[in-house]
Structure 1
Amino acid sequence: MLREINDRAAIEVLLREGPLTRAELELAIGLSKPATAQLITRLELDNLVVKAGVRGGGRGPRAQLWSANGGLAYVAAVDLTPHVADFVVADVAGTVLAEHQVALPVHEGADVVGTFGEALSHVAEAAGITREELAHVVIGAQGAFDPRTGLLSSAPHIPGWLGFDVPQKLSDELGVDVLIENDVNLVAVEEMSAGKAQDVDDFVMVWLSEGVGGAVVIGRRLLRGATGGGGEIDWMRVPDPATVDTGDVWPEAGARFGNLVDSPAICRLAAAYGIQAGTAWDAVEQAGAQHPFLDDLARRVAGGIANLVAVADPQLVLLCGDTSRAGGENFAGLVQGRLHDLVLPRTPVGCASVQGNAVRAGALQSALAKTREDVFGVVTPTLLGSRRPAVGPSPGKAAVPNTRPAPSPTE
């Protein structure tokens, strides 16, 4: 039992930190020199760790480096949008092996499974493997995924992906295990892994771009809801607090939050202040730091966030997406000020810190978490995607063996 715990602790450190010397690993896991040497020998014999070059730069002999054996399994992650699908393949240690971007047909009636499979095969081949060698594939999509039915909803922009059990059909026809997850949920996963939420238990993410999206994390677990609709904040009903007439007429029950802060609505708000722009982020960039348009926009954003804060009382609110990035910390500060006018908690508001394609990065983190559980027995429950009750491996795909099975409670 203790040996299993030590072995997994060592693998967790190697996966998190990358290649380490015996002395560095000894320090990280708190074992003696002989015990660490025995552990490394044991893991090498089990093919779970491999030599990874040497550490030089100082006096004396160069020290042998050890790393988790990335060649035990491979994963893929995809950011699926109406414009482009962004693929990446990595080994189980997290080393990126290949990337590929391609425009996939998403219109109704398109062969979405076939074209997705071709693109997946292409990037797998570029990584030096076959598509069938992929242990898990995680797709980030702009919509809500219902784990009970496998259906996507709130995704009119990708109609070809609607109306069928997406992960089951892809898994069956492509011969790989496929999961699908809301894109903003995956941004939240990446922020927990490498961003401002690494040490935060409860937080909310608000995505402002062409549309609006959200993610709610409670106890470092994504709140997905009974039907996968957790975080779908665009459907909240809120009043419009803007101080200028934008020509919009909202229902008596209030506007949909998504209709207040999507790109067209923000452009109309900007136009009421004399700012002509084609996108919300262009309008925010043109406005500069002190323009009253930004304060009105902050009022709208804070009005929606106030509902989340009143219910969840998170430690942090993070803004992400093109519009949020254009406004930066200055805009986040305006939102924070207006939020504090509406609710009792003094919740800080900031901008997400992860750079690059955070959706794809979060999908990769989720795929790695699932595969590392299977291969190494290393469990990272926060990062695991939605899963239905286990009924065995998907047809045409054998389960990845867990080479380090968890000890039973009686051991």
Structure 2
Amino acid sequence: MTVVAGGASAARPQLIRAINEQVLLDHIRRSGPVSRTELASLTGLSKPTVFAALGTIERAGLVHATGQRTGVPGPAAILYGVRPEAGFVLALDVGHEFLRGAVADLAGTTRSRLSVRTKAANAMGRVQELADLAAKLLTEAGIEASQLTQTVIGSPGVYDPKRDTLTLTGRLSGWDSPAVLPALRERFGSSLMIENDVDAAALAERVHGHGQEVDSFAFVSVGTGIGMGLVLDGKLRHGAHGVAGEISYLPFAEGSGSDVRDARKRGNFDASASAAAVVRAAKRAGVRRASTAEKVFAAAARGDAIAAAVVAEEALMVAKVVCTVITVVDPELIVLGGGIGQAPGFLEAVIDQVRVLAPVLPDIKATELGTDTVVAGCLAAGLDQAWQHLISRISPPT
């Protein structure tokens, strides 16, 4: 991050102050409680500049004194940290079977977390369920809706600005209706932000998971739906049209579970390798009681040779997609997520196939973040957006 000191005479003073305040806030967020002297050392700003900027953001209620550092030579230094109550973020995950959500304060501490099975028969019913879940989360967190700084909904699909709708929404029937976004805005207000659910999962992996130590990785989610979140040079990439990572549309349609109708609606690879495709392949092959992909994998683990062949076919298809990602992007890391991506033994089966297919073998790992990955990513995105909003209110650049 560029630090602008007082000697930059060509820059406007208000802009300089705003940048300096943002620099301080960023260091306080990431470094925890720090003293004014430490902030001067970390940022390269003069002590008078630090004292002035810190005073502004403290009066704005974004930071506060958290204590004193003792046990070192000299006077005890006052430590400054984020004031958690300065803002709150609501994160919601719209799934095919479950709705999940959480509320976090500005320091990133989760104040409430809930998960409910959806019963909605249509898109408007799902919108109402989200509003009901949000109300419960706010009550549990002990805050009012007016205290929210940012709301982020993780949803399948890609935003189409020309039509102001979501497209490519997978198995969420009616979620691409032109009425959905206005209904969401009506209930959640102007602070609403929509993030693709798999992209949100990739953000969570970047902040909390295997992606913390690398600059480039792909989060490949295989489950009820199929998608990918791509992080390059430390940043989430959406592409020119927002469809970067929509791997469900890769022209792979070779699995025995492939379905022509699914291919038209959700893409060839989704029709061949999603959870529904695994079930179809297992039933066609004669696997008994193959009502879910989880049961097919369980049967394979028990030694059912037919189920094991279905799982091996699934691993090969996913390995081909991983190989495609490797040859196009060459990331340092591939993270598998989703119900199938995290299934016992599946990671090893995919790695064995990639080792044969790909020109190089990057690290390939299964996510360890569990079912709240999308919510965690939405919280991360919401906190970044909330900070930007709050900072702009202190010293808006002109």
Match of 2:394 in 1: 403
| Cα distance change on mapping 1:96 and 1:21 into 2, 3 Å | farther
Distance change (3 Å), C-alpha of 1:113 and 1:27: same
CA positional deviation for 1:373: 0.9
- In structure 1, how many angstroms separate the alpha carbons of the residues matched to 2:386 and 2:163? 23
Separation of aligned partners in 1, 2:104 and 2:79: 21
Deviation, 1:366, is: 0.9
In the alignment, which of 297, 304, 313 is matched to residue 321 of structure 2?
304
Change (3 A) 1:62 1:168: farther
For the aligned residue pairs, the C-alpha RMSD in angstroms reads 3.8
Q: Percent identity of the aligned residues?
A: 27
The correspondence for 1:259, drawn from 250, 271, 276, is 271
The match for 1:178 is 192
User: Deviation digits for residues 83-123 of structure 1, max 9, x if unmatched?
Assistant: 33222122223222223334455423644444433432332
- For residue 258 of structure 1, give the secondary structure of its aligned residue in structure 2: helix
Q: CA deviation at 1:168?
A: 4.1
Over residues 137-194 of structure 1, what are the superposed CA-to-partner deviations in whole Å (9 max), with x where a residue is unaligned?
1111233333443322333533243312544442245434212222111011111122
Distance in 2 between residues matched to 1:187 and 1:317, nearest whole Å: 13
CA–CA distance in 2 between the matches of 1:201 and 1:363? 20
> Whose helix fraction is larger, Structure 1's or Structure 2's?
2
What is the alpha-carbon distance in structure 2 between the residues aligned to residue 159 and residue 365 of structure 1?
Answer: 28
Deviation at 1:56, TM superposition (A): 7.9
Contact 2:222 2:341 in 1 (8 A): yes
Structure 2 residue corresponding to 1:364, chosen from 379, 385, 390: 379
Unpaired runs of at least 5, structure 1: 377-400
- On the 8 A contact 2:257/2:272 being kept in 1, the answer is no
3-state SS of 1:79 partner: strand
CA 404–27 in structure 1, closer or farther in 2 if over 3 Å, else same: same
Aligned to 1:9: 23
Partner amino acid, structure 1, of 2:365: G
Deviation at 1:323, TM superposition (A): 1.6
Q: Residues 250 and 171 (structure 1 numbering): CA distance in 2 closer, same or farther, change over 3 Å?
A: closer
Contact 2:253 2:272 in 1 (8 A): no
Kindly tell me: are residues 174 and 190 of structure 1, through their superposed partners in 2, closer, same or farther at Cα, counting changes over 3 Å? Answer: closer
Q: 1:287 aligns with which of 300, 305, 308?
A: 300
In the alignment, is residue 331 of structure 1 matched against residue 334 of structure 2? no
Counterpart for residue 252 of structure 2: 238
Q: How far apart, in 2, do the equivalents of 1:109 and 1:356 lie?
A: 23
Call closer, same or farther: CA 1:343–1:110 in 2, change over 3 Å.
same
Report the equivalent of 1:322. Answer: 339
- Residues 161, 105 of structure 1: alpha-carbon distance in 2 compared, 3 angstrom cutoff: farther
Higher mean Cα deviation, 102-111 or 128-137?
Answer: 102-111
Q: Map 1:92-171; keep pairs closer than 5 Å.
A: 92-108=106-122, 110-155=124-169, 157-164=171-178, 166-171=180-185
The corresponding residue for 2:62 is: 48
SS for the counterpart of 2:151 is strand
Structure 1 residue 326, shift from structure 2 partner: 1.9
> CA separation in 2, counterparts of 1:356 and 1:210?
13
Residue segments in structure 2 that go unaligned for 5+ positions in a row: 7-16
TM-score in terms of structure 2 length:
0.78
What residue in structure 2 maps to residue 354 of structure 1? 369
Partner amino acid, structure 2, of 1:402 = R
Task: Report the CA distance shift for 1:110/1:36 in structure 2 as closer, same or farther (over 3 A).
Answer: closer
Q: Which amino acid aligns with 1:281?
A: E
Matched letter for residue 343 of structure 1: A
- Report deviation, 1:358: 0.6
Q: Aligned partners of 2:59 and 2:164: how far apart in 1?
A: 41
What is the TM-score when the length of structure 1 is the normalising length? 0.76
1:181-210 Cα shifts (integer Å, max 9, x gaps): 221110111111222222433322211112
Check conservation: 1:132, 1:175, Cα contact below 8 A. no
Question: Once structures 1 and 2 are overlaid, which stretch shifts more, 115-124 or 78-87?
Answer: 115-124
Alpha-carbon shift at residue 360 of structure 1 (Å): 0.3
Query: 1:187-226 maps to which residues of 2 (within 5 A)?
Result: 187-226=201-240
Are 1:106 and 1:159, in contact at CA under 8 Å, matched by a contact in 2?
no
Instruction: Decide whether aligned partners of structure 1 residues 249 and 160 sit closer, same or farther in structure 2, where only a CA change above 3 A counts.
Output: closer
Q: 2:257, 2:273 within 8 Å by CA — same for their partners in 1? A: no
